[in-house]
Amino acid sequence: MASALINVPPKARRGEIIEIKTLISHVMETGFRRTQLGVVIPRNIIRRFVCTYNGTEVFRADLHPAISANPFIVFSTVATESGTLSFQWTGDNGFSVTESADITVE
Amino acid sequence: MERAASRREFLKIAGGAAAGLGLGAVVTVRPASATPAEMQEAIRSVIGTARVTPGKVKIELPPLIENGNAVPLTISVDSPMTEAEHVRAVHVFTEKNPQPYVVTFHLGPRAGRARVSTRMRLADSQNVVAICQLSDGSLWSDSAAIVVTLAACLEDGI
């Protein structure tokens, strides 16, 4: 089963820009490769990544086959208030993983 | 002595043949790739017919990468990222990948800083193009050339 790694600073000052790193295990099969018998391996990718901060969307990415296996995404957000950052990856074959991280803003 | 020389000779010929074969394989087994024209088409399908001006965006990409399966890519945009003036989206395209459209990042004033990183696949040495869409609707672009030693998409599956 897929597993995700998230790096969010546990504490931040109000208004500080924090960097968030995410990594999720996924093959990101392009749909362009073939087996040795010449059969096309069907596409299996993560198509969308969304990050919400206390329910408000702060970052979103639309992924395509040219993103490497185990998608690694780094982005930033402003630490506005204490709460939860939630991360969701969705993709082909009903793939859906949700993770969350808490942050304390002083 | 005679024997050593012939062995050396043999290795030289064998090496040359192997190199020739390798080159031949690269030329013939190349996967179906897009062309710069197809990239333009892909760009137009995403951003429409609006005019794109070079500037403001910056692609950070190594000039040479050994493994095209995981190429670190960072894109930053010169923007204050305020409610009035921010980056709405950043699109990335490639010239020669089988599919030119790589990724779109949707940002907003909550991002604080217009800087995103990921890892991408590259099927060949080529140009990578980033286009950013600002909150006022204007479009800015940057492109970077990269040499790929081991291309992605070439290896066989299981």
Q: For residues A8 and A82, give the distance between their C-alpha atoms in angstroms, rounded to a whole number.
A: 13
- Which chain B residues contact residue A56 at CB under 8 A? 110
Taking a C-beta distance cutoff of 8 angstroms, is the pair B152, B69 a contact?
yes
Look at residue B11 in the predicted model and tell me its pLDDT. Answer: 59
With CA atoms as reference, the chain B residue closest to A74 would be B117
Number of domains forming the structure of chain A: 1
Answer yes or no: do B113 and A17 touch at CB < 8 A. Answer: yes
Look at residue B9 in the predicted model and tell me its pLDDT. Answer: 66
With CA atoms as reference, the chain A residue closest to B116 would be A75
With CA atoms as reference, the chain B residue closest to A53 would be B110
Q: For residues A51 and A43, give the distance between their C-alpha atoms in angstroms, rounded to a whole number.
A: 24
Domain containing A87 equals 4-105
B111 vs A32, A33, A58: nearest CB = A58
Look at residue B17 in the predicted model and tell me its pLDDT. Answer: 54
Look at residue B1 in the predicted model and tell me its pLDDT. Answer: 47
- Which chain B residues contact residue A80 at CB under 8 A? 110
Residue to test with chain B: of A32, A78, A103, most B Cβ within 10 A: A32
pLDDT tens, residue by residue, A6-60: 999 999 999 999 999 999 999 999 998 888 888 999 999 999 999 999 999 999 9
Chain A contact residues (CB < 8 Å to B): 17-18, 30, 32-36, 41, 53, 56-69, 71-78, 80
Q: Mapping DSSP to helix (H, G, I), strand (E, B) and coil, where does residue B17 land?
A: helix
Look at residue B23 in the predicted model and tell me its pLDDT. Answer: 45
What's the average pLDDT block by block, 10 residues per block, for chain B (158 residues)?
59 57 41 76 90 94 93 95 94 93 95 95 93 94 93 62
Look at residue B31 in the predicted model and tell me its pLDDT. Answer: 46
- Which chain B residues contact residue A30 at CB under 8 A? 98-99, 121, 153
CATH code for the domain of A33: 2.60.40.10
- Which chain A residues contact residue B119 at CB under 8 A? 67-68, 71-72
Residue to test with chain A: of B81, B101, B106, most A Cβ within 10 A: B106
Q: What is the CA radius of gyration of chain B?
A: 21
Look at residue B25 in the predicted model and tell me its pLDDT. Answer: 39
pLDDT band at A105 (very low <50, low <70, confident <90, very high): very high
B43: DSSP letter: H
Look at residue B70 in the predicted model and tell me its pLDDT. Answer: 93
What does the block give as tokens for A91? Answer: 């993709």
Look at residue B151 in the predicted model and tell me its pLDDT. Answer: 83
If phi over 0 gives left and psi between -120 and 50 gives alpha, with beta otherwise, what is residue B54? beta
